[in-house]
Structure 1
Amino acid sequence: MPRSAPRGGPETRARIAETASGMFAERGFDAVTVAQVASAVGVSSVTVFKHFPRKEDLFLDRSAEAVAQFRDAVDGVPRDRVLDALEALTTRLVDERAPISGLAVRSEAFFRTIADSPALQSRVRELVAEAQGVLAETIGDGLLAALFVAGYATVFVDTARRVLADEDRDAVATAHRAGLDRLFRTLRDGVASAT
C-alpha cells in the first residue's frame, strides 16, 4: 500500500494556501474561517496553524519569499553597491511581472481582497515593518532600509491603485518603472533631483 504524503509537509502547506486563496477570492477574506479552510483541505485547524500562524498569513503566504528576495539581493553586497542591487532586483521583478511587483495577472483580486479587509491591511503594515528590519540588518544601514522600503511601498501602492482602477496593464507597468526610476534617483541624489 503506497504511503501518503506527510500531513505536515510542503505539499500540505501548498494545498492549504491554494485552497484558502480560492475560498478568499470567492467569499472574501473576512467571511472565511480557518476551520472552513481546514475542512476543505481535509486537515485539522491545528495543522493549518502549524504552517500559517495567523489567518492573514494564509492569504499573504508569499511574504517570507518576497522578503528573502530582497535580503538575498543585498546580502554581502558592498555598501556603495546596495542601491544598484536593489534596482536590478526591482527592475527584474517588473520585467517578470512578478507578484511582488503588483503587476502579476491575478493582482487585481489580490489588491481587492486586501482593500476589503482591515485585518489584512494591518498585517501588511506589520510585514512591511518586518521587511524593513531584515533589510536594515542585512545591509547594516537602518536609514537606507527605511527610505527604500517606504519608497518601494509608495510605488507598489500606486500600482495597486492603478490596477484597481482597471488601467491598461502596459501603462501601469510604465508608471511602475517611472516610480522606481524616481525612487532610485531620490535615494542616490536626494529629493531635489527627483522633482
Structure 2
Amino acid sequence: MTEGLRERKKRETRQRISDMATGLFLERGFMEVTIAEIAEAADVSVNTVYNYFPAKEDLFLDRSAQVVERTSRWVRGRDEGESAAGAVLRELRAEVEVVSPRVGLMEGYDRFMRVIHEAPPLRSRLWTLQEEIRDHLEGTLREETGASADDPLPGLIAGQICWVQQMVMVSVGRAMLAGRNPDVVSREVLVLLDDIEELLGAKVLNYAVRGAP
C-alpha cells in the first residue's frame, strides 16, 4: 500500500468514526454513549477510536484545532491598512451575512447545542477551547507586532478580540436553541456586531494595523 493510499484510508477511518459518534450523540446524548458503542458502529476497535480521538470530547468537538487556528488566520490575512480587530470583525460579518454554518447559522444547530448544554464535560472542553484560542491569538499578535515577551498588550487585545467572537457565537447559539430562523438571526447578529464595534476602544480597533510604521 502506498503512503498516499494509507493516508487516505486513515482520513476515511477518522471521518467514519467521527460521523458515527456525532450521530449517536445527537440521537442519545453525549453522556449516554460509550466509546465501545462508537467503535462498534464504526466497525473499528476501541483502541482505534482512541488512536484518532484521545478523549471522548474530541469526538464531538473534532474540529477544535481548526477553530483554534481560525482567528489567528484571519489576523495574519488582514488587508493593508487593516487592524487585527478590524480583520476579525470583517470576517465575522462576512460569515454572518451569508448565514454560514461555520458560525452556527443552520437548521439543526439547536440539536448540536443541546448536546453540549446537557453534558458538563463538553461545556468544560469549550471553556478550555476558548482559552486555547486566546493564547494562540496572543502568540500571533506578538509575532505580527514584534512585541516583547513582557508586553501585556498582545494578551489584552487578544482577550478583547476573543470576546467579540464569543459574543457572536453565544448569541447565535442561544437564538438557534430557541428555534429561531437562521436568516432572521443573521440580520440581528449583524446589528449586534455594529454595537460591539462601537464598544471597542480606539486602542483595540487600531492595534496591529498592517503596514503602519
The TM-score bracket by the shorter chain reads 0.7 to 0.9
| Deviation readout 1:38-95 (Å, 9 max, x if unpaired) | 1111112222122212111111112212222222111265896212211121122213
TM-score by length of 2: 0.79
Match of 2:158, as an amino acid? A
Q: Find out whether 1:144 has 2:157 as its counterpart.
A: yes
- For residue 17 of structure 1, what is the aligned residue in structure 2? 18
CA pair 98-45 structure 1, distance change in 2 beyond 3 A: farther
Q: Find out whether 1:58 has 2:71 as its counterpart.
A: no
Cα offset for 1:101?
1.3
Q: CA RMSD in A?
A: 2.4
Structure 2: distance between partners of 1:33 and 1:117: 14
- For residue 171 of structure 1, what is the aligned residue in structure 2? 184
Kept after mapping to 2: 8 A contact 1:111/1:160:
yes
Q: Find out whether 1:110 has 2:109 as its counterpart.
A: no
CA pair 45-97 structure 1, distance change in 2 beyond 3 A: farther
* Larger RCO (CA within 8 A; separation ≥ 6): 2
Structure 2: distance between partners of 1:99 and 1:51: 25
Structure 2: distance between partners of 1:54 and 1:79: 42
Kept after mapping to 1: 8 A contact 2:106/2:182:
no
Aligned length: 188
Structure 2: distance between partners of 1:102 and 1:7: 29
Q: Which among 86, 89, 92 is matched to residue 88 of structure 2?
A: 86
Cα offset for 1:19?
0.7
Cα offset for 1:188?
4.2
Match of 1:61, as an amino acid? D
Greater displacement, 136-145 / 176-185: 176-185
**Which structure's CA Rg is the greater one?**
2
TM-score by length of 1: 0.86
Match of 1:26, as an amino acid? E
Question: Percent identical across equivalent pairs?
Answer: 35
Match of 2:60, as an amino acid? F
